[in-house]
Amino acid sequence: MGEQAPIRLGAGEQGELFPDMTLPDEMVGYRGPAACQIAGITYRQLDYWARTDLVVPTIRSAHGSGSQRLYSFKDILVLKVVKRLLDTGVSLQNIRVAVEHLRSRGVQDLARITLFSDGTTVYECTSPEEVVDLLQGGQGVFGIAVSGAMREISGTIHAFPAERADGGEWLPDTPDELSQRRARRIG
């Protein structure tokens, strides 16, 4: 994966990707079972990837019996991308290289990335020109638009319980349907 400068998104682009702007901040995390459901992986995969440092929780790691890992939105996004790469036959060794590169990026930067692979190597493309250059090689590749995975996660993540690493409670800005009905009835 080539070295390229991170691409910053304009406010409009972020707004289009996440129209309600209620993404959890970096202190909000999801426990292992929720992270599994959101990313579409098994708990066994999650545990193995954490123990082998493929995808580790950035908010809180497990430390001793009974402690709970907390995965951030970005961690869950990386879990989903890893799952998709595995499903297409990319080796764990090559996925590790891709994950290291993804970890260095911010969530906004990730929204502009499309990962391509020929089944062996993983390539990052951030512009149509890079995609064309890659495809001109004539060999078959598949792509994973990280923004698509982000949209999937952002559409479902609010249905899962979250907690703040600092012990506070996280409440998304968008009220649920039941709260909206109660407010209409009272008002």
Contacts for 56 with CB less than 8 Å, ≥ 6 apart? 49, 50, 75
Which H helix or E strand runs over 148? Answer: helix 146-156
pLDDT at 187 exceeding the cut of 80: no
pLDDT in tens, 9-22: 333 343 344 434 45
**Burial of 187 per CB tally in 10 Å (0-12, 13-18, 19+):** exposed
pLDDT of 6 reads 34
Closest CA to 7 of 124, 110, 150: 110
pLDDT of 73 reads 92
Closest CA to 28 of 73, 68, 63: 73
pLDDT at 42 exceeding the cut of 90: yes
pLDDT in tens, 65-76: 666 889 999 999
CATH code that applies to domain 25-171: 1.10.1660.10
Distances (CA, A) of 130 to 19, 90, 141, 148, 177: 28, 21, 13, 19, 43
pLDDT in tens, 139-178: 667 788 888 888 889 888 888 988 887 776 555 555 556 6
Strands 142-145 and 114-117: antiparallel
pLDDT of 63 reads 66
